Chains A and B, each alone.
Chain A
Amino acid sequence: MFVKLAVKSLLNRKGSALLTLLAMSVSIFVLLGVEHIRTQSKDSFANTVSGVDLIVGARTSSLNLLLYSVFRVGSPSNNISWQSFQAIAANPKVAWAIPISLGDSHKGYRVLGTTADYFQHFSYGKQHKLRFAQGQAFEQVFDVVLGAEVAHQLGYHLGDKLVLAHGIATTSFALHDDKPFQVVGILAPTVTPVDQTVHVSLAGIEAIHKNWQQGGATPSPSSITAGMVGLKSRMATFAVQREINNYRQEPLLAILPGVALSELWQMMGLLENTLRLISVLVLVAALLGLSAMLLASIREREREIQLLRVIGAPPWFLFLLIELEAVLISSLSIVCGATLLYLSLISLGDVLTLQFGLHVSANIFSIHSVYLLLLVILATLIAAAIPSLQAYRNRFNN
């Protein structure tokens, strides 16, 4: 009966209740959306690389090294010599070392020169190895392995031929038309920058640059962009890092990817907090609207409230009645807002991925979001306390 009274009273004020519901739904949508995208991007961020103990590059800021070696963002200031890389790989504490050579592109996607070891050792997320959806690793100079998104977006299949350009612009003039590479492998999706990468052998990179004809001797590179290092024992991480940083022949920098990733994420903390602040303010505005709507309704319903008092309703009943109306509206708003967000993520997921490189799953329900929604209900109870108290205090004044 209690709930029925609240529901019917809201239905009796369809117009204002509906508008309030709409405002609340939009704010829940914004709040959940911001939180969801934030946690998702944080996760996918932290998951871009794992199992790599050290990343080695020319001396620069650790952030810069991380950005160009892992995210393929920006360009390296300097390369490291092949000799230095060989020296690191020969270190007895090092289990494996993968060279990385960047600087070329194919239709806007970065080309990564490396060795076949890359596919064996590089991992992402919770120690997921790279997996081939089709084909296998490159063997020949002109073999190429595509990331999932590259293959999907450009419509490449195994055996297709393509041309790799020197430089990173889409419309590079230095198109190497005479170097037809052939797709020998396509990787399974990883939801990391790997999906947007074109992988070739180091020899392939040299071939692009030095005009090597197919069938020529495999050149060994004079320098590479960076290296990824796996150690035999995690315990040695700091020791090896120090050794590399103090390397005499060349100024080098070794970073721990996990540490650098969290530093980078912290730098984005300001943006993150601004977004959260805005979404909280939007919610506060909607809650104030809810409170104002209920307060106005109490003026309208003064006689109804007095009638309830006369037939024996204690003041706290009226307090709870108004609170219940508020909670009904905000619960319904949560349902509407969450549904709206879910539908938008499903329909706009591709756009987000394409435009912002953001891979967002449509599953918006986590422990975190449940807490958040409980907080919303709590905030609703607090915001509705003002009109509820008004109803509670309503004295008989005929």
Chain B
Amino acid sequence: MPATMTTTSALQSVLARQGHDGTRLMQILRETQEALGWLSPPVLTEIARDIGWPRARVESTAGFYSFFHTRPLGRYRVLWSDNITDRMLGNIDLMQAMCEKLWLEPGRVSEDGLVSVDTTSCTGMCDQGPALLVNYRAVTRMTPRRVEAMVDLIRAETPVAAWPAEWFAVEDNIRRKDILLGNALVPGEALAAALERGAAAMLDEIKRSGLRGRGGAGFGTGLKWEACRDAMGEAHYVICNADEGEPGTFKDRVLLTRYADLVFEGMTIAGHVVGAKKGLLYLRGEYRYLLEPLESVLAARRAAGLLGGNILGQPFDFDIEVHLGAGAYICGEESALIESLEGKPGRPRIRPPFPVTHGYLGQPTTVNNVETLAAACLVAKHGGEWYSKVGTTKSAGSKILSVSGDVERPGIYEYPFGVTVQQVLNDAGIEGCTQAVQVSGPSGVTLGQNELERRIAFEDIPTAGALMVFDCTRDMFEVARNFAHFFAHESCGFCTPCRVGTTVVARLMDKLATGHGSPYDIDEMFKMHRLMQGASHCGLGNSACNPMFDTLNKFRPAYERRLKSLDYEPAFDLDAALSQARQMTGRDDAAAHLANVEES
């Protein structure tokens, strides 16, 4: 099937816009798909030819990301966010209702090629779920009525652009402000202070501030910038990690919506310190709707002399570009993110070397979380000493938490480090009893009732920002099972323990869920935990069994309720397998069932 005229011209304009540059393959594929609906084999061939890459490498990238499709998936593609918080708000029933109205099975495309409905990993709308994406546009607060109306619009083939605007409204839900969210900085103020200090002095202030990375690992930002600055290279790069894929986390979304200037300003300050001319912000595909607003902030900053050449009249050039991801949690891992920025599948690199010496295009690169970069502005303005006095000795400054689940006021809460989990719960409002709190998402920790006095801090409970609350009616086994499936879906597949192990674990959880589990399977889960924790290539595989490990240790009855017997139980149910034979022979007497045969 030769590419048609319209296909060719649409494709050519994308390729021209992206400069026929293979390292921009992610953007090429996304824009092509936005124009053509899907990435057909001849289109991939044409892209490969144009950028001068082997076709297999282009297909390798196209096949890796959930939001790229190499087969048609309908003119309307509906993806229901499937985080546990969406489940608690009833997403599965709503999706089922939608499928029934459309005469569709989840995961299938309708016969007429009109629509497909499926689930996707957390879309970062946990405080306003159940959420979904329609043609990769975020929709919040789904209700049975919205489902009905949406089905009608799809049937009438109304363009998504003409759908009710309020469906696409995303609330910020900022509930508590502290030094960062309550800042009174105007655009350029922190940057001017940084330029006035000079790069070396600014680095000293960052070190003095004790600022540590907000992306999860908590690495000292000053040390990271210094290592990048000191590394030899043709060019240095600043990357802002806005992949925010950890289920239950949505604070970077709010920072990028309401404080974009602060984030870009932090990147610019980082650029000045490490000696970079270029910054890249890697935005998760789920936040596609933020692309145009972010680009207009960038344009305004250029117009104001805060980006581009001779920034603020100084001999300092720096500019920023936003790149979109395409549905892959692993791209939050910094080396996988860099691979993705280079147009490749997001598979974590072998480390060392680390990005600070060999990062984007092999050059010295500092990768920092959105919140880290925003916080750097406070340090530039007020100094390291000032910043270090907020929080605890080991955890300077404040932390933004994304609170969701069983609370009265889900949303964004900023506290100085050291706040207790109980304090957060009190502020967010809880009715009845809290059974568990998941801090830092599935790869973090599950806290039980007796641990709520613990503190949010690197020295106690470190967190990338998610805090999901489960009241006493929730089934903690189902929480862990949801997380197990998340990891199985998001494993990049590079290394054996995680690629196969996450699926083995998800299947074990399903086996327990259907009542076929035994204590043997629980031992198996611990065995997989021990294997994956040590042998995996990156943090995803290393922490993928955390939810099972924590819930098994703290909420054992939730598992034991489901055990069929105390002995070994095969996953294969022989009696159930005979049901077809029973149906065909019209028999359902006692002797036609295996268990009964054995007993008699």
Whether chain B is bound by chain A comes out as no
Chain A contacts to B: CB under 8 angstroms:
none
